[in-house]
Amino acid sequence: MPATSSKPFTPQEALEFMQRMWNPFGMPVPGFTPPGATAASMPFPNPATMFATLDPAEIDRKIAELRVIENWLSMSQNFMQMSIKTLELQKASLEAMRAGVGATEPARKKNRTNKDGD
């Protein structure tokens, strides 16, 4: 069995362990500033900002933002459905008018021929 170390596992060692596990070749990750480097030299924004926060107020703010977006999308969907239904009604009305005109056409021709034959 390997000997256990009496030294406690520090947070810095935990961070280094995770960095070696996620990036075993030591390639620079855009957005994460390596120790000793300045943040201004990094060309990309910090990807750590994409991870969830542990602040409940920030989470509530994000939920409220997403609910606003959800409501806006729902309203847009309702407008789109209303537009589609309006066009469908317009199409049905035009077809009904054409069918009515088509049904009266033979009667008109018959009336014209009867008037001409009198």
Q: Measured between alpha carbons, how far is 109 from 99 in angstroms, rounded to an integer?
A: 16
User: pLDDT: is 81 or 103 the higher one?
Assistant: 81
Q: How far apart are CA 28 and CA 30, in angstroms?
A: 6
33 pLDDT higher than 90 = no
Strand ranges for 33-91 from DSSP E? none
Tokens (6 digits) for 107: 């009667």
Average pLDDT of the chain is 75
Report the Cα 78 to chain-centroid distance in Å: 17
The pLDDT value recorded for residue 32 is 58
Q: What's the rounded mean pLDDT across residues 42-62?
A: 68
Question: Quick one: pLDDT at residue 65?
Answer: 92
Q: For residue 10, what pLDDT band results from cuts at 50, 70 and 90?
A: confident
How far apart are the C-alpha atoms of 96 and 102, rounded to whole Å? Answer: 10
